[in-house]
Amino acid sequence: QEKTHYEGVMTTKVLPDIKTAEAEYADLQQRRQEYFKKASIICSESDMEALSHVAGSTPEQLSAKINRLKQRFDQESRRYAESIDDLRALHDKKERKILRKQQLYAGFRVKLNSCQKALDLRWKKFQRNAGLLKRQLTWLFNEHLGKKGISGFINVDYKSKVLSVELTMPQDASRDTVRDTRGLSGGERSFSTLCFTLALHGMTEAPFRAMDEFDVFMDAVSRKISLDTLVDFAVAHGSQWVFITPHDISMVKPGDRVKKQQMAAPRG
């Protein structure tokens, strides 16, 4: 009986409502297709998808927005006399110019990076050569100082552009390290300066060189050592040297390439 009752309810109440809803659904589906065709004539579906930010807006809201855009369009049209096509052509021209500039910038950037790498490589080589030259200068300086039993060290600060000399006296003396050449005697200072000059000469090339009064304030032993060192150095390097001194040069050893010329004493 319950089954019969509910079957009657289904037949008299439920099924008619379902059929009515299906008919309304079919009618709405048909009307939707017709409205879609009409809307596609005005605006395609792809354009609507591009305007996804207006989804859910009411016709009144869309109309108000369109009016605002028209007002802005009129204002901009009054400000600029060019047409949309002219502005678009100008925009394309500027865009092409910007693209060319970007490509030019990219090319310059590649060259600049190459130059930077080359500069970094040369800077590293310069620093390495600077350190090697400083060592070589100290070695040559010590070689010449060693003829009097003195040792020394040359410190070159390339950043501060400062060169300092440190000397250590012979073993039979106090073995004190002199960091200021003003603390040396006149002869010691002249001899150390001569050794430093010879060290520089040994690292450079020149067709001829000249030295004047290089042996001032020297004692006889230091003067002889200095003259012998200078002559041997000049003969070994093969360049032309001119030595000028007010002192006696008879102690200089004669040789094929050594020419001594002594001027007469001035009259009183």
Query: What is the per-residue DSSP string for the chain?
Result: -HHHHHHHHIIIIIHHHHHHHHHHHHHHHHHHHHHHHHHHHHS-HHHHHHTGGGTT--HHHHHHHHHHHHHHHHHHHHH--S-HHHHHHHHHHHHHHHHHHHHHHHHHHHHHHHHHHHHHHHHHHHHHHHHHHHHHHHHHHHHHHGGGT-EEEEEEETTTTEEEEEEE--TTTT-PEE-SGGGS-HHHHHHHHHHHHHHHHTTS--SEEEEESTTTT--HHHHHHHHHHHHHHHHHH--EEEEE-SS--TTSPPBTTB----PPPPP-
Burial 199-216 (b: 16+ CB within 10 A, else e): bebbeeeeeeeebeebbe
- Average pLDDT of every residue of the chain: 83
- Average pLDDT of 59-79? 85
Block residue for tokens 């439920």: 14
| pLDDT at residue 173, rounded to an integer | 52
- Average pLDDT of 69-78? 85
Q: Given strand 151-157, what is the order of strands in its sheet?
A: 151-157, 162-168, 177-178
Give pTM, 2 decimals: 0.52
What is the rounded distance in angstroms from the CA atom of residue 144 to the CA atom of residue 209? 18
- Average pLDDT of 115-136? 93
Token pair of 54, please? 């207006």
Query: Burial of 150 by CB count in 10 Å (0-12 exposed, 13-18 middle, 19+ buried)?
Result: buried
| pLDDT at residue 53, rounded to an integer | 67
| pLDDT at residue 122, rounded to an integer | 96
Pairing of strands 208-212, 240-244: parallel
- Average pLDDT of 169-176? 59
- Which has more confidence, 118 or 147? 118
Rounded to an integer, what is the distance from CA 141 to the centroid of its chain? 36
> 216 near 190, Cβ under 8 Å?
yes
| pLDDT at residue 168, rounded to an integer | 82
Residues in the chain: 268
- Which has more confidence, 25 or 147? 25
Compute the CA torsion angle 249, 251, 256, 259 (nearest 10 deg). Answer: 10
- Which has more confidence, 178 or 226? 226
105 pLDDT above the threshold of 90 = yes
